[in-house]
Chain A
Amino acid sequence: MSSQAETQLIAKLETGIPGFDLISNGGLPLGRTTLVSGTAGSAKTVFAAQFLAEGITQKDEGGVFITFEESPADIRRNMTGFGWRIQQWEEEGKWAFVDASPQPGEEALVVGEYDLGALMARIEHAVQKVGATRVSMDSLGAIFTQLTDSATVRRELFRIASALRQLGVTAIMTAERTQEYGEIARFGVEEFVADNVVILRNILESEKRRRTMEILKFRGTTHQKGEFPFTIISDAGIVAIPLSAIELKQKSSNVRISYGSPELDDMCGGGFFRDSIILVSGATGTGKTLTVTQFMAGGANNDERCLLFAFEESREQLFRNASGWGIDYEQMERDGRLKVICEYPEVMGLEDHLIEMKAIIEAFKPQRVAVDSFSALERVSTIKGFREFVIGLTSFIKHQEMAGLFTSTTPTLLGGTSVTEAHISTITDSIILLRYVEMFGEMRRGITVLKMRGSMHDKDIREFTIDGGGMHIGKPFSNITGILSGRPIHVVPDELARLDNMFGDD
């Protein structure tokens, strides 16, 4: 609020569209008209309707919807899925339609000069009727196909845009574009509402649909730059995910908490910090799910609430596995200490996953969150989308001041790193590696703490075994080198002693 006063002469109107107000540094320019441009299916109509709907539900601000394309009946029906009760709002005098959609079977003949004075008069009438502060026009292209004289239409739309400014309403005009990256809109409509432009995109990238929004310009005021992913969900409408708008300002805690394994706690200098993000990386079968299970049990034993998102195994498998390690998930769930969400990553897009996971976290308010595994989510998205997901989720968890434990599967059995790690390693506080170690024709398991922010930790690669009691961490592999690179070499004890002496200070 304080920065607004000193840097902005143009005030903003908070739209209430989730995420959009962050991207736009506070909303749409107040009292101005903003062009919202996008290709077919880029959610322009939803955006236009949501702008009014959020105004009504959040701030009790009336809205006028001018439709050039769909009939009001279609819009009422299509928007009920988002929970917007347009008909009811119309009856309550909060929402008014100006129906400029083509009427079936009534093609008008044009003889001589005309203007759109009637439309303007109807808009003014509707604005006064509901006391509107918000106006949406959807979409401008359709009026160019209804009235073929585009020079007249363009001139008249310019008049309407300036008349809207006189009325003091904040308006959205939507317009079509033919390409995702190209001219701003068809028919050159940006020329008369060029002050503010928002572009909605619906891009096909590696066979996956990805929606983004970008504020191209806000004249005389600030906004975040670049494309931001968004999704459309039922009962909410458009939800934008403002990544770069996230601030790194989470607090940090010195309280240490148990992993659920005393030996691992020891390796980390006495447990992990209460609000840290931990990444567990390992090949398939190295014990990642076990680490997660112990992490959950450790939380439950400490009277904490734990939330597990599982994308690889079913509930039954998870519960059976846990009991195989002596951990009773069912009891934890009955005590309200545990919630397990199992889902196939493919059921929805990653943006939708993110929003759903945030909603579940907010509702359950856990102290510990685990995701098993991030790598499974990697396959339903593009690399860019995945990176945004990882950053979005981890920063959200950090802000909630809870602990997050994520697993990542390495593509090779020995050594190796995964894409997941490349995206997440810089924002994690701790990284634990689980690795297979081949020794004399036998596969052993090794564990090491690669990084732990703000704390001393054990630098050894230790051997561990898994049995009915869970994970048991033993001695370091003192005479093996090359475990992390995936090429373990056995070093004879004599050589080891010689190496030790080389660096000893006599």
Chain B
Amino acid sequence: MGEKKYMLKLYITGYTPRSERAIANLRKICEEELNELYEMVIIDILERPQLAEDEKILATPTLIKDLPPPIRRIIGDLSDTERVLLGLDIRPLSTSRRDKGNDQ
């Protein structure tokens, strides 16, 4: 995997139950799969609407992976870990059950 660092931004609209759920899900994924090699920022759109405008965020929660390229976007509360990993181009570390998503 090398020393690639993951740059993750999670956009939420206020700290609603759904936002909290997304934050918890993301934390869990990072801790279990990314081995400390990540930076995670949570942005509340209610406080910084211009950032949402610049990033053209439509739905919340939205997770944006800026680094490593390519940029990926995932909408939703991230409740399905496997699909989130697939969407972020991360091969599961903890569970080496399957080996799909080589070329996503």
Interface residues of A (CB under 8 A from B): 98-100, 103, 106-122, 124-126, 143, 146-147
For residue B78, which residues in chain A have a CB less than 8 angstroms away from its CB?
Answer: 111-112
Contacts A108-B75, A121-B45, A124-B49 given; does A113 touch B56 at CB 8 Å: no
Contacts A106-B73, A121-B13, A121-B52 given; does A115 touch B80 at CB 8 Å: no
In this assembly, does B50 line the interface, its C-beta being within 8 Å of a C-beta of chain A?
Answer: yes
By the criterion CB–CB under 8 Å, are B52 and A122 in contact?
Answer: yes
Q: Which residue of B has the minimal Cβ distance to A108?
A: B73
**From residue B14, how far is it (CB to closest CB) to chain A in Å?**
7
By the criterion CB–CB under 8 Å, are A118 and B84 in contact?
Answer: no
Q: Which of A110, A117, A120 has the most CB of B within 10 A?
A: A117
In this assembly, does B72 line the interface, its C-beta being within 8 Å of a C-beta of chain A?
Answer: yes
Q: Mark B1-18, 1 if CB is under 8 A from A, else 0.
A: 000000000010110101
For residue A113, which residues in chain B have a CB less than 8 angstroms away from its CB?
Answer: 18, 76-77, 79
Partner of B59, one of A98, A99, A106, A118: A118
**From residue B64, how far is it (CB to closest CB) to chain A in Å?**
9
For residue A120, which residues in chain B have a CB less than 8 angstroms away from its CB?
Answer: 13
Q: Mark B43-78, 1 if CB is under 8 A from A, else 0.
A: 001100110110011111110000000011111111
By the criterion CB–CB under 8 Å, are B77 and A117 in contact?
Answer: no
Q: Which residue of B has the minimal Cβ distance to A101?
A: B56
Partner of B79, one of A108, A111, A119: A111
Q: Which of A118, A119, A122, A126 has the most CB of B within 10 A?
A: A118
By the criterion CB–CB under 8 Å, are B77 and A112 in contact?
Answer: yes
For residue A98, which residues in chain B have a CB less than 8 angstroms away from its CB?
Answer: 53
For residue B62, which residues in chain A have a CB less than 8 angstroms away from its CB?
Answer: 108, 114, 118
For residue B83, which residues in chain A have a CB less than 8 angstroms away from its CB?
Answer: 109, 111
By the criterion CB–CB under 8 Å, are B60 and A115 in contact?
Answer: yes
By the criterion CB–CB under 8 Å, are B84 and A122 in contact?
Answer: no
For residue A103, which residues in chain B have a CB less than 8 angstroms away from its CB?
Answer: 56
By the criterion CB–CB under 8 Å, are A118 and B60 in contact?
Answer: yes
Name 19 A/B residue pairs within 8 A (Cβ), A-sorted. Answer: A99-B56, A100-B58, A108-B73, A108-B74, A108-B75, A109-B87, A111-B80, A112-B76, A114-B18, A114-B62, A114-B75, A117-B13, A118-B11, A118-B52, A118-B57, A119-B57, A120-B13, A121-B49, A125-B52
Contacts A118-B52, A122-B53, A125-B50 given; does A111 touch B84 at CB 8 Å: yes
Known contacts A112-B80, A117-B45, A125-B49; 9 additional CB pairs below 8 A are A103-B56, A108-B75, A111-B77, A111-B83, A111-B87, A113-B18, A114-B77, A119-B58, A121-B49
For residue B49, which residues in chain A have a CB less than 8 angstroms away from its CB?
Answer: 121-122, 124-125
A118 to B55, CA, bound (A): 11
A207 to B77, CA, bound (A): 53
By the criterion CB–CB under 8 Å, are A111 and B75 in contact?
Answer: yes
A107 to B74, CA, bound (A): 9
A109 to B88, CA, bound (A): 10
Query: B residues 8-37 with Cβ under 8 Å of A?
Result: 11, 13-14, 16, 18, 21-22, 25
Partner of A119, one of B16, B46, B59, B71: B59
For residue B61, which residues in chain A have a CB less than 8 angstroms away from its CB?
Answer: 114
Contacts A117-B14, A121-B46, A125-B49 given; does A110 touch B56 at CB 8 Å: no
For residue B80, which residues in chain A have a CB less than 8 angstroms away from its CB?
Answer: 111-112
**From residue A341, how far is it (CB to closest CB) to chain B in Å?**
50
Contacts A119-B59, A122-B52, A146-B58 given; does A112 touch B79 at CB 8 Å: yes
**From residue A145, how far is it (CB to closest CB) to chain B in Å?**
13
For residue A110, which residues in chain B have a CB less than 8 angstroms away from its CB?
Answer: 74-76
A17 to B84, CA, bound (A): 48
A126 to B58, CA, bound (A): 14
For residue A115, which residues in chain B have a CB less than 8 angstroms away from its CB?
Answer: 13, 18, 59-60
**From residue A248, how far is it (CB to closest CB) to chain B in Å?**
52
**From residue A110, how far is it (CB to closest CB) to chain B in Å?**
5
By the criterion CB–CB under 8 Å, are A117 and B60 in contact?
Answer: yes
A147 to B76, CA, bound (A): 11
By the criterion CB–CB under 8 Å, are B11 and A106 in contact?
Answer: no
For residue B84, which residues in chain A have a CB less than 8 angstroms away from its CB?
Answer: 111
A110 to B78, CA, bound (A): 8
**From residue A126, how far is it (CB to closest CB) to chain B in Å?**
8
Q: Which residue of A has the minimal Cβ distance to B61?
A: A114
Contacts A108-B62, A117-B45, A118-B13 given; does A125 touch B53 at CB 8 Å: yes
A390 to B66, CA, bound (A): 63
A121 to B19, CA, bound (A): 15
By the criterion CB–CB under 8 Å, are B79 and A116 in contact?
Answer: no
Closest 6 CB pairs of A and B: A117-B13, A125-B49, A112-B76, A112-B77, A112-B79, A109-B87
Partner of B45, one of A114, A118, A143: A118
By the criterion CB–CB under 8 Å, are A114 and B60 in contact?
Answer: yes
